[in-house]
Amino acid sequence: MPRSLVCLLLALLAWPARAQDPPAVAVLPLQKAAASAQYDGLGRALAGMLVSDLAALPALRLVERDQLDALLAELKLGESAFVDPKTAQKLGKGVGARFVVAGSYTVIDPTFAMDARIVEVSTGEIVKAAAAQGTVAEFVAVEKEVVEALVTGLDLTISSSERRKLLLQAPTERFGAFAAWGEALARRAEGRFDEAQAALNRALADDPSFVEAQEALGDLEALIRKREEERQGARQDARQTAFDALLAETTDDRKLPNGFVHDQASLARWALRLGVLEEQGRECERYAEMRSWLARQAWVVKEPARTAADPGVLSYRILQDAKARGLDLRNEDPKAPEHLKDPLASRSAALFRDLGSYVFGSASAYKRGHGLVSSLLACHAGAKALTELDALAADARAAGVHDQRYDRNSVLTVGERLSWWWAVTRARRLGADAELARRTEALLAAHKGDEAGERLVLTLVGEVRTLAENWEDHQVRRRGLPPEEVVRRMELLAKGKLPDDAVCKQFENQRGSAAYWLADHARMVAEGSNGLDARIDRAMGQWAPAADFGCLAGIPPRFKSAEAAWAWMDGASSRRLADAEPTCEGSWVSYAQMLERTRPQRADPMIGPTWLVAADQTLVGLVYSRCVSE
């Protein structure tokens, strides 16, 4: 024999034999032998307890729960089905297990009994059977007695530490919490997630330290969120498909031929088209189409003539068409703005009740509506919006409806309502001016002596004045900056590199709160929250002091030195506002006392920068509260 071959054989004989893999064990849910319905899920909990105990032994490998559940579902074996050795053998082969553990339990208060048996998959023989009983309060001891007997039947050698761990570990000592956990496991396997969640909450109420229930609840809530996101995504996809189909089969009103007259069916589809454009944020298109239709209608909003083939009212036709397209339900997207939560169909149908509904909708100074004016204001900003409102008023005058009441319950005419919307827009976006004052005075004069009209106009004019005051507050609290610049400065504070000096280091601890503000701002924008303006205003207390000292990259500092900053703050009393709120007095006293405390330490390199930033932050707060001007 060649020498090389001899060496190879000797080497192979000397190679250590690979240790055998630990035998795989599949633990089936225990069947209920005798117990009330409230303990239907106990078999899964007991199986889980057996798995935890056996998994603590390195000499065994446990089959994954999900793998076993999938096979049980495939074989259509419920937890109540009796598992004989032959069935256990089949299950074991299906999951690659050498042994299968099956058993049952009985709960007849106060008695708890449990039995289990080990089936060897290759032969179908029962290797070991064990049973134990006690009270429900002793269920842990009963399970430990059974599992210890099973381990003996497997002829395993376990160390004293392994045996001690096996006997001492238990998910909970409280039977009520354990039973609720079992119910949760069963309900989750059935896909009844809400019931599983409720059961886990009961388990934790009974035993707050029940770790397995805590983890199961966290996993379940994550699964519920994921499934809801998937459902929401599917709903939104279906909604978008319906939108695309509707837009494809309807025509932009501006492209319709001269003399075209809608019938019930085509007007219903076009009304839904307006709803789709609104929901997709295509407000400029929607405004242009609505204005085109209104002009062709000579500002007369009425339903098309009914026919024998289509005798229903328009609103019914719109709702039926929407239902056929799956657009009759409330928008369930949690990120949808509040004004788009109501069903698209009802929003579309409401437009055609009368002229007022079509032009103004249900909008108010503080609430977004769905009419023509709402799309105009969503499309155009600043002075352009004012120009468009005046253009609408001119259209109304040309159509002969300018001086008509826009609906039968209104005391205002179409022209007066449009003039009021001009004043609202001017006050909210640009603040008060002489023209705004002229228009509001004209409204008041037009209804002087008319008790109902005067009362309404006083309310409406009061809203305009409040908006103008709010605009002025916004200008002060944002230092005249647009909202997007305030957001940019908060981003610089949260994420930008701060200069390495003693003053700017004072703002390091504000990065977290700035990041939180940005996240909250993004959420409010997505939801179309009415509190967004106030949220932007309140950011002043964070970004303004940082900007004052040149701590925001690219923003020139307000103060060139600490001495200049202190001089500005010391002179704040000369800038006090005469019409400030009474609460400002107490704030001034506190601020003055603070300035006096700082004087001996202003030049101290250690404490001076801290006092400097604190004083500026306090002064910015006084500016925010309109106690002092900048």
pLDDT score recorded for residue 17: 39
Token pair of 476, please?
A: 């002060």
pLDDT, tens digit, for every residue of 455-511?
999 999 999 999 999 999 999 999 999 999 999 999 999 999 999 999 999 999 999
Distance, in Å, from the CA atom of 170 to the CA atom of 209, rounded to the nearest integer, reads 12
Enter the pTM of the model: 0.70
Q: Angle at CA 395, nearest 5°, toward 394 and 396?
A: 90
pLDDT, tens digit, for every residue of 193-233?
999 999 999 999 999 999 999 999 999 999 999 998 898 88
Mean pLDDT across 598-604: 93
pLDDT score recorded for residue 12: 35
Instruction: For residue 404, give the 3-state DSSP assignment.
Output: coil
Contact 242, 273 (CB under 8 A): no
What is the secondary structure of 412-463 as a DSSP string? SBHHHHHHHHHHHHHHHHT---HHHHHHHHHHHHHTTT-HHHHHHHHHHHHH
Give the relative orientation of helices 451-477 and 414-429 as an angle to the nearest 10 degrees. 20
Contact 389, 360 (CB under 8 A): no
Please report which helix (H) or strand (E) contains residue 131, including its range. Answer: strand 126-135
pLDDT score recorded for residue 16: 41
Mean pLDDT across 319-326: 89
Question: Is the model more confident about 312 or about 133?
Answer: 133
pLDDT, tens digit, for every residue of 357-381?
999 998 899 888 999 999 999 999 9
Question: Is the model more confident about 290 or about 185?
Answer: 290
pLDDT score recorded for residue 336: 73
Question: Is the model more confident about 235 or about 442?
Answer: 442
pLDDT band, residue 83 (cuts 50/70/90): low
311: pLDDT strictly greater than 80: no
Distance, in Å, from the CA atom of 123 to the CA atom of 170, rounded to the nearest integer, reads 33
Token pair of 55, please?
A: 């998994």
Distance, in Å, from the CA atom of 195 to the CA atom of 193, rounded to the nearest integer, reads 5
Give the number of other Cβ atoms within 10 Å of residue 155's Cβ.
9
pLDDT score recorded for residue 75: 57
92: pLDDT strictly greater than 80: no
Task: Specify the amino acid at residue 459.
Answer: T
pLDDT score recorded for residue 266: 92
Distance, in Å, from the CA atom of 625 to the CA atom of 108, rounded to the nearest integer, reads 69
Q: What percent of the chain has pLDDT over 90?
A: 64
pLDDT, tens digit, for every residue of 237-286?
998 999 999 999 999 999 999 889 898 899 999 999 999 999 999 999 99
pLDDT score recorded for residue 91: 72
Token pair of 316, please?
A: 């019914």
pLDDT, tens digit, for every residue of 2-45?
454 444 333 333 434 334 678 888 888 899 999 998 898 899 89
Contact 92, 190 (CB under 8 A): no
pLDDT, tens digit, for every residue of 539-571?
999 999 999 999 999 999 999 999 999 999 999
Query: What are the two backbone dihedrals, phi and then psi, of residue 374, each rounded to the nearest 5 degrees?
Result: -65, -40
Q: Tell me the pLDDT of the chain averaged across its residues.
A: 89
Pairing state between β 126-135 and 111-120: antiparallel
Question: Running DSSP on this structure, what letter comes out for residue 36?
Answer: -
Distance, in Å, from the CA atom of 243 to the CA atom of 277, rounded to the nearest integer, reads 9
